[in-house]
A and B are shown apart, each in its own frame.
Chain A
Amino acid sequence: MKYYDLLMHDVRFKEASTACMNCGVCTAICPAAEFYKYDPRQIMNIVQSRDDKKIEDLLRSETIWYCGQCMSCKTRCPRGNVPAMVISVLRRFSQELGFFIVSEKGRQQFAVKRTVGDNIINTGYCVHVDHVSPKLHPEQGPIWKWYVENAEEVADRLGANYNKYGAGALRKISKENLDEVKKIFDVTGGSKLYEDIEQYSAEKAKSLKMSIDKEGLNNEYFFHTYIENSNNHQK
């Protein structure tokens, strides 16, 4: 199947890419285009060309990982297109086809999966106080460190129900609810995408002779994808 036809399998691509006239308003408003060597107008142009070789190059590229998903392009496009959503669809197939491990920014999906991705399945939260360690987040500052070290005292003072069953902020989510979340991931392709990211990342880690482990953050490949920056991305 040609890549363009594959992209059309995603409802978001149908909705987000209709007769782009390449005016470049998306690039003008884009925060990522100001920071990175990034031009959403060109991406829309390539996708619209339906050129298989060029689309595969995109799927293997750094450029599709630069978008920050702010959706400013959605507001401004005079034709109602959504380049950020086209980017999401390209990222989906880059991961499903294993092309994401070719690029430095693409490989970072492993770090995102091992943090936010696994948090969802294991705890029912994308992010929770316990997930934001001061070591991995020095920018959070000393008050965050104090909060994390005194999490139950501080959060519960603010009305939370920290890591306890029942209603309330930061509550522990029951096994019954987590089981339903996991079943939804199994039925809808969420678990399969996690497996794809893990499998292709394990191959890359092996080629780099780095440890990866079956889960968790305490391995060489996680820190490689979390910290590595060639500094070859900015304008």
Chain B
Amino acid sequence: MTEKKHFWNEYQKEIADDNYFYERSCIRQSFFPGSETAFLNILRNELGLTIIDDPNQHTCTGIGYHSDVVPFDTTMTICARLFSLMTDKELTNFVPSCVTSFGIFTEVIETWAQFPEELEKTRQFLRKATGREFKVPENIAHPSDIIYKYRKELKKKMKYQLVNCHTGKPLKVVEHIGCHYAKIFSKHSVGGAEFPQVLAGMIEEWGGQVIDYPERRHCCGFGFRQYLVMANRGYSVANTKKKFESMEPYKPDFVLTNCPGCTMFMDRWQYTIAEMEGKTYDEQQMGIPVLTYEELTGLLLGYNPWDLGFQVHQVQVEPLLDKLGIKYDLKDKFTGVTGKYLGEPEKPEYLKVCYE
């Protein structure tokens, strides 16, 4: 184990200290808006850092690019416009909220480094289309990189640890870093694709136990066009199923994810498999909760679970909250921003939930 830890030290990346430009994620802000809110609050309020959320930003085109309806020239120039927004703010540290976007931005910058004529072409495209200029970011960090960097400082502020309050034992956690975080350019990730540490480092620092299981590095199954088109979704669910079958014997308390797409798929496909096959991968027929790293950080800091957004997860988190010793108000769970009670969702037929 010591030798292994020494080995991944070679895969450390430089993560900027402060002054970030935040690029929101289409998937994270749609499916887990509370995670993006929590991340900004953690950086600003817990760590006292500066991060800019520019209203002029837009998609990086990543989902369109990887499903091949957006050409690479277009994607490079769209990225360049986002970099111009960063440049306008006199910032140089770019923080994309999505693992797909992280892969896109690193691919674009690596292409420009290797083929300078592509950078010049992109500059001309952007100038012609918008009159804008841009600087290439000096540092690209995924938000989880920043949480990882400051994991020890955050631990000092945390009210809870990843310990089962009933048994005193560390919670067992499966982590999933997402393919495009480390598989495209390992050098831009913490720990690389072989010994991923970005989430494992948080789990271990905060008292949990990382589960190493055979399909740890397997894709969640998004597959872009393999999910976007209904006819192809068998591919997507089959991949998630493979992962859950592999992790089941280790009885994880929850799954921690890096990529918002992976979070959503590993949550929703558990519901689908339960309804189609009458199968869950836990013993209580409730499924295994899937958390974003922002949600986990917020929970341990003592944030209200329903302000973090756990009510929009299909697999219920209450059993995990109970293990952590976190109190919650079920009446607050389905309440909107105006304080209005919104009623309860319908119940699945097989998967058990914590509402009537």
Query: Could you tell me which A residues sit within 8 Å of B by CB distance?
Result: 10-12, 15, 31-32, 35-36, 65, 68-72, 74-75, 88, 91-92, 95, 105, 108-109, 111-113, 115-117, 120, 124-129, 132, 136, 139-147, 150, 152-160, 165-171, 173-174, 176-178, 180-181, 183-190, 193-194, 197, 225-229, 234
Secondary structure at the A interface, as helix, strand, loop or mixed, is helix
A218 to B8, CA, bound (A): 52
| Contact between chains at B114 and A15 (CB < 8 Å) | yes
- Can you list 6 pairs linking A and B with CB atoms under 8 Å apart? A32-B235, A112-B68, A154-B311, A156-B336, A159-B33, A187-B129
B64: which A residues are within 8 A, CB to CB?
112, 116-117, 120, 126
Q: 1/0 per position for B307-351, CB-CB distance to A under 8 A?
A: 111011110000000000000000000111110101111111000
**Extra 10 A-B pairs, beta carbons < 8 Å, given A112-B225, A153-B342:** A31-B218, A31-B219, A71-B184, A72-B179, A116-B64, A146-B334, A158-B33, A188-B74, A190-B70, A193-B70
B309: which A residues are within 8 A, CB to CB?
158
Whether a CB of chain A sits under 8 angstroms from the CB of B53 is: yes
Q: 1/0 per position for B250-294, CB-CB distance to A under 8 A?
A: 000000000000000000110110000000000000000000000
Whether a CB of chain A sits under 8 angstroms from the CB of B297 is: no
Known contacts A15-B111, A124-B58; decide if A157 and B24 are in contact (CB<8 Å): no
Whether a CB of chain A sits under 8 angstroms from the CB of B135 is: no
B334: which A residues are within 8 A, CB to CB?
146
In B178-192, the 8 Å CB interface with A consists of 179-180, 182-184, 186
How many residues of B sit at the interface, in one of the four size bands?
Answer: 35 or more
| Contact between chains at A174 and B56 (CB < 8 Å) | yes
| Contact between chains at B233 and A160 (CB < 8 Å) | no
Q: Sorted from nearest, which 7 A-B pairs have the closest CB atoms?
A: A153-B336, A159-B37, A68-B223, A190-B74, A146-B345, A158-B34, A169-B29
Complex: chain A residue closest to B53, CB-CB: A167
B34: which A residues are within 8 A, CB to CB?
158-159
A52 to B337, CA, bound (A): 60
| Contact between chains at B129 and A126 (CB < 8 Å) | no
| Contact between chains at A136 and B224 (CB < 8 Å) | no
| Contact between chains at A142 and B111 (CB < 8 Å) | no
| Contact between chains at A127 and B30 (CB < 8 Å) | yes
A15 to B110, CA, bound (A): 11
| Contact between chains at A112 and B235 (CB < 8 Å) | no
A33 to B321, CA, bound (A): 39
| Contact between chains at B71 and A116 (CB < 8 Å) | no
**Which one, B24, B36, B228, contacts A115 given CB within 8 A?**
B228
B30: which A residues are within 8 A, CB to CB?
125, 127-129, 132, 170
Whether a CB of chain A sits under 8 angstroms from the CB of B1 is: no
B208 smallest CB distance to A (angstroms): 25
A151 to B30, CA, bound (A): 10
A159: which B residues are within 8 A, CB to CB?
33-34, 36-38, 41, 307
B175 smallest CB distance to A (angstroms): 17
